């Protein structure tokens, strides 16, 4: 596979469930991101990992827990979510940091519904 | 605060015609990168065009071009000879270097190309 892949594509869960979203990038990038996309809102950056270290956490509730075991994989562990957490969760990756142009490549997203 | 404003939630254009999507942004930084991303109904977001803020020349990619007005903090996207495949959500974004590649996105414009 090429590019950025995400599984599952759709997920329905109850508020007491624990689930995980998976993202994999096949581009050799060293930075990965989780975004939340809700209707009529800007994309919300949740977490940034660079060289497998978390460099950004935008005040995300602790019921979302990211994990980056290596530069190609990124997980988002979910537990005791709320209905307002229902959204499209997008993963992205990019190469490098610093004062240079770094396009982000996006995955297809996981459509999450919390009942 | 860094913000991106897309004032047109929905737009439509006749096939083969030209349409312009507006975007304004706010940042106190002088060095940044600007992007337009396209998200078709299948949901995978892809880059349409990019612009370095230090370049005065407007970027062009085939039928897509931008009108970058740095002083006005405006970054509009022009799509010429619109095609049915251009139907999608379009997101304007900018990125500040040296911030972990953090992107700031607008709320998007839903473009429909009418046959």
Per-residue pLDDT tens over the stretch B56-103: 899 999 999 999 999 999 999 999 999 999 999 999 998 887 666 678
Q: Give contacts of B105 with chain A, Cβ < 8 Å.
A: 42-43
Strand partners, A81: none
Give the mean model confidence (pLDDT) for residues A12-17: 90
Give the mean model confidence (pLDDT) for residues B10-28: 96
By CB atoms closer than 10 A (0-12, 13-18, 19+), residue B54 is: exposed
Q: Give contacts of A43 with chain B, Cβ < 8 Å.
A: 91, 93, 103, 105
Q: Which residue did the predictor score with more confidence, B11 or B30?
A: B11
Tell me: pLDDT of A1 over 60. Answer: no
Q: A95: distance to nearest CA of chain B, Å?
A: 9
How many helices (H) and strands (E) chain B has is answered by 0, 12
Give the mean model confidence (pLDDT) for residues A55-67: 84
Please judge whether B98 and A45 are an interchain contact, meaning their C-beta atoms are less than 8 angstroms apart.
Answer: no
Would you state the pLDDT for residue B100? 62
Would you state the pLDDT for residue B103? 83
Averaged pLDDT of chain A: 88
Question: Phi/psi of residue A78, each to 5°?
Answer: -120, 135
Entry field: residues in chain B: 115
**Percent of chain B at pLDDT exceeding 70:** 97
**Percent of chain A at pLDDT exceeding 90:** 61
């Amino acid at each position: 596979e090429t590019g950025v892949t995400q599984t599952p594509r759709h997920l329905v869960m109850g508020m007491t469930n624990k689930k995980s979203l998976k993202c994999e990038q096949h581009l050799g990038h060293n930075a990965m991101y989780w975004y939340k996309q809700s209707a009529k809102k800007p994309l919300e950056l949740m977490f940034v990992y660079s060289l497998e270290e978390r460099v950004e956490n935008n005040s995300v509730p602790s019921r979302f827990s990211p994990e980056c075991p290596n530069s190609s994989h990124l997980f988002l562990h979910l537990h005791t979510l709320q209905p307002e957490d229902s959204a499209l969760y997008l993963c992205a990756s990019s190469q490098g940091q610093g004062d240079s142009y770094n396009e982000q490549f996006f995955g297809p997203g996981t459509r999450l519904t919390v009942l | 605060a860094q913000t991106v404003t897309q004032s047109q939630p929905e737009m439509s254009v006749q096939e083969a015609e030209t349409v312009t999507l507006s975007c304004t942004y706010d940042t106190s930084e002088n060095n940044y990168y600007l992007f337009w991303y396209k998200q078709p109904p299948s949901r995978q977001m892809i880059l349409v065009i990019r612009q370095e803020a230090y370049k005065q020349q407007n970027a062009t990619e085939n039928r897509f071009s931008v009108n970058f007005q740095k002083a006005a903090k405006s970054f509009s996207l022009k799509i010429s000879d619109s095609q049915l495949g251009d139907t999608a959500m379009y997101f304007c974004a900018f990125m500040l270097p040296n911030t972990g590649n953090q992107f700031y996105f607008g709320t998007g414009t839903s473009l429909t190309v009418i046959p």
